[in-house]
Amino acid sequence: MNIKLNENFKMLGGGYLFSEIAARVAAYRAQNPSKRVISLGIGDVTRPLAPSVATEMSRAARKMSTRDGFVGYGDTQGTPELRSAISKRYEARGISLNQDEIFISDGAKSDLGNLFDILGDNEIVIFDPIYPVYIDSAIISGRKVRFLSANEENSFLPSPTFLPKKAFVIFLCSPNNPCGAIFTREGLGAWVDFALESGSLIIFDAAYESYIRDASLPHSIFEIKGAKKCAVEICSFSKMAGFTGVRCGWTVIPGELPIHSLWKRRQSTKFNGASIISQRGALACLSPLGVRENQGSINYYMENARLLADFIKEKGIFFVGGENAPYLWVKQPNKMGSWEFFHHVLHSSGIVITPGEGFGKSGCGFFRISAFASRKDVLEAIERLNAVL
C-alpha cells in the first residue's frame, strides 16, 4: 500500500495503558488458571444499573418496536429532554446554561479526543501523571505537550504559577484520575484567572464529580467566576450511573466561546447523536428516583475507598485520594520500577493494581488502587495485600 499514514502514531508509547494491563493479566490468568484474580486496576464500575434506569431503557427499546414509537436519526446535539434535565442539574449549582450549550455525547472519552478536530496547533498543558487519553489524543494530533509534574510538593495539583503568559490548551481533571486529588475553589480559580489573562482554553474533565463529598469543593468549573469565557466541561454518566457499557455523556461549550459554532459544525458532520435508548436511560438517571438509586452505588464504592484507605493508613504507607474520588494514589513501599511492582503484586497476591508510571513519568514510585469492586473482593484484596505491602 502506498498511502501516507498519520506518522504521529509512531510517537505514542507502547499500548494504551489499560489494554496493556488487560494483556498482562490475561497472560497471568493463562499461567495460573486456579488463582482467582481480583482487579482493583482498570477502574471500570462493577455494580449493576439502577433498576429504574434499566426499566426506562427497556421501555424505550420496546417503544422503538412500535409504528408510533419508532424514531430514527435524532437531534445530533441530543434530545431536548436530556439537555433540559442537564441544564437543570447545573441550575441547582447556580450555573445558568442555555440548552444549546450542552452537547450529548456517547461518553467523555470520544469528546476529549475529538475536540482536537476544532483546535489549531496550540501547545497543550497536561498534568503528569494523568488519565492517558489527553496525552495520546494530543500526540495523535501532532501537538506539542508541556507536562506539569503533579507530586507530593504541590499536593498532586500543580498551579499555573510557573507557566509563561501565553495561550495554551489546558487539560484539568478534578476529581483527578489517577491521584484522587481535587481542586478547591481557590485552586481552580487560579487556573481560570490564568486562562483569562493568557487567552488560554481550559478543557475541564468532571467525569468523577458525583464522588465529591466535601460540600465546599467545586463540582463544575462553571462555579468559578469567568469560566464561561475560557472553559469547556466534559462529563459522563459512566461513573455517575454505571454507564461505562451503555455509553452517554455530555460536553458544555459556552456560546460565547468561538469554538461553540465550530463544535456544532464538527458534530453535525462527524456524529449522528448518541443512542436514543442510552439518552432515555440517562434522562432516568437524572430523575429523583434515578439519582437516589445511583447515589446508593456511589456510596457503596466510597465505602470501599474508606476500607482501602484505612488499611493503607494502618500500614503506615503514604497515599492521597479516596475521600472525594474513587481512587487512591499510593506510594510504593519499595524502590521497584512501576511495572515491576505491578508484576510483583499480581504474581504474589493475584491483585491487579495500576502502575503509576502508566499515567506518566511522575507517577513512578506510586500505584493507583480503584474502589470499583464488590465489597467481598475489597475485603479479600485487603487480606491478600496485607502480606505483600
Q: Residue 159, interface with ligand PLP (CB under 6 A)? A: no
Please choose, out of 107-115, 188-196, 291-299, 329-337, the segment that lies near ligand PLP by the rule CB under 6 A. 107-115
Please give the Cα distance from 297 to 366 (Å, whole number).
Answer: 27
Give the single-character DSSP code of 45.
-
Among residues 311 and 372, whose Cβ is nearest to ligand PLP? 372
**Phi and psi (nearest 5°) for 78?**
115, 165
Contacts for 334 with CB less than 8 Å, ≥ 6 apart: 341
Please choose, out of 20-28, 101-109, 339-347, 365-373, the segment that lies near ligand PLP by the rule CB under 6 A. 101-109
Among residues 131 and 366, whose Cβ is nearest to ligand PLP? 131
Q: How far is the CB of 292 from ligand PLP (least distance, A)?
A: 22
Candidates 52, 77, 177, 251; binder of ligand PLP (CB under 6 A) is: 177
Among residues 41 and 249, whose Cβ is nearest to ligand PLP? 249
Please choose, out of 2-10, 106-114, 296-304, 369-377, the segment that lies near ligand PLP by the rule CB under 6 A. 106-114
Q: Residue 173, interface with ligand PLP (CB under 6 A)? A: yes
Q: Residue 205, interface with ligand PLP (CB under 6 A)? A: yes
Q: Residue 24, interface with ligand PLP (CB under 6 A)? A: no
Q: Residue 236, interface with ligand PLP (CB under 6 A)? A: yes
Q: Which cell is 361 given?
A: 513519568
Q: Residue 107, interface with ligand PLP (CB under 6 A)? A: yes
Among residues 171 and 319, whose Cβ is nearest to ligand PLP? 171
Candidates 249, 273, 290, 360; binder of ligand PLP (CB under 6 A) is: 249
Q: How far is the CB of 106 from ligand PLP (least distance, A)?
A: 8
Among residues 304 and 349, whose Cβ is nearest to ligand PLP? 304
Please give the Cα distance from 291 to 134 (Å, whole number).
Answer: 29
Environment class of 275 (CB within 10 Å of its CB; exposed 0-12, middle 13-18, buried 19+) = middle
Q: Establish how many alpha carbons lie within 13 A of residue 101's alpha carbon, considering only the half-sphere containing its beta carbon.
A: 21
Contacts for 356 with CB less than 8 Å, ≥ 6 apart: 129, 178, 329, 332, 338, 363, 364, 365, 366, 367, 368
The 10 Å Cβ neighbour count of residue 265 is 12
Cα three-residue angle 128-133-139, rounded to 5 degrees:
85
Please give the Cα distance from 293 to 297 (Å, whole number).
Answer: 7
Candidates 244, 275, 287, 295; binder of ligand PLP (CB under 6 A) is: 244
Q: Residue 132, interface with ligand PLP (CB under 6 A)? A: no
Contacts for 59 with CB less than 8 Å, ≥ 6 apart: 280
Inter-residue contact 263 to 103 (CB < 8 Å): yes
Q: Residue 138, interface with ligand PLP (CB under 6 A)? A: no
Q: Report helix angle 338-349 to 375-386, nearest 10.
A: 100
Which runs of consecutive H residues, i.e. helices, occur in the chain?
Answer: 17-31, 51-63, 80-91, 108-114, 133-140, 185-198, 238-241, 259-270, 276-285, 288-314, 338-349, 375-386
State which of positions 75-94 bind ligand PLP (CB under 6 A).
none
Q: How far is the CB of 164 from ligand PLP (least distance, A)?
A: 27
Candidates 131, 204, 342, 367; binder of ligand PLP (CB under 6 A) is: 131
Candidates 85, 207, 246, 351; binder of ligand PLP (CB under 6 A) is: 207
State which of positions 25-54 bind ligand PLP (CB under 6 A).
43
Inter-residue contact 207 to 234 (CB < 8 Å): yes
Among residues 131 and 222, whose Cβ is nearest to ligand PLP? 131
3-state secondary structure of 382: helix
Please choose, out of 141-149, 236-244, 257-265, 306-314, the segment that lies near ligand PLP by the rule CB under 6 A. 236-244
Contact residues toward ligand PLP (CB under 6 A) are 43, 107-109, 131, 173, 177, 205, 207, 236, 238, 244, 249
